[in-house]
Amino acid sequence: VYHKNFETLDKDQDSTSIRTGEEAFSGTHYTYVSPQAPFRNGVVINVTEKMLDKKLFVNGCMYIKGHHPATTETSMAISVEDSTGQVKYWTSKDLKFVSNYAEPDTWMPVTAEGVTPEMQKGYRVKVFMWNVGQKDTLWIDDSYLQVIPADGK
C-alpha cells in the first residue's frame, strides 16, 4: 500500500504542486490538478518477481475537493512501461464517489480501480491523477494506492 498525504515531498515531486494551508483535508499540505497542471506525480512501481506473468489489480482512494466535484473529469491513469520507457499499456479510470452526493468545496472520498495486462520483466507501473480537460481546479489529499496481483497470490 502506498500512501501520500503530501506533508513531505517525494524525491521526484515538484514543490510547486504542493499547497499549504488549513484547508487541507488532513495536516497542512495537499496537491491539485488544474487546466494549467493536467498531471500530478503519482506512484511508480517496479515489477517484482512476485508480479511477473500476472495481471495487477490497482485500487486507489483519496479525498478530493472542487467547485463542481460531481462533474469532474479527473481520473486515475495507469501506465505500464517497459525497461526502455516505451508505453505498453495505458488507461484512465473514472473517480467514483463513496457517497451518492458530491458537495461543492467539501472534501469527499473517491475511489478508482483497474487491472493491468500481464507483467513482464523490466516493466514498471505508473499511477497518477490526470485532468481530462477540466475547467476547474481539483484539490487532492490523503491518497492511498494498493497494487497487488489480480489473482490475489
| Tens-place pLDDT, residues 52-93 | 999 999 999 988 888 776 556 778 899 999 999 999 999 999
Q: Residue 24 CB: number of other CB atoms within 10 A?
A: 22
pLDDT for the residue numbered 6: 60
State the average pLDDT over residues 110-122. Answer: 95
State the average pLDDT over residues 125-138. Answer: 80
pLDDT for the residue numbered 42: 76
pLDDT for the residue numbered 57: 95
Confidence of residue 140 (pLDDT cuts 50, 70, 90): confident
Confidence of residue 35 (pLDDT cuts 50, 70, 90): confident
Confidence of residue 113 (pLDDT cuts 50, 70, 90): very high
Q: Tell me, rounded to whole angstroms, the distance of Cα 119 from its chain centroid.
A: 20
The answer on pLDDT for 18 being more than 80 is no
The answer on pLDDT for 7 being more than 80 is no
Among 143, 148, 150, residue whose Cα is nearest residue 42: 143
- Which DSSP symbol is given to 71? G
pLDDT for the residue numbered 38: 77
pLDDT for the residue numbered 32: 80
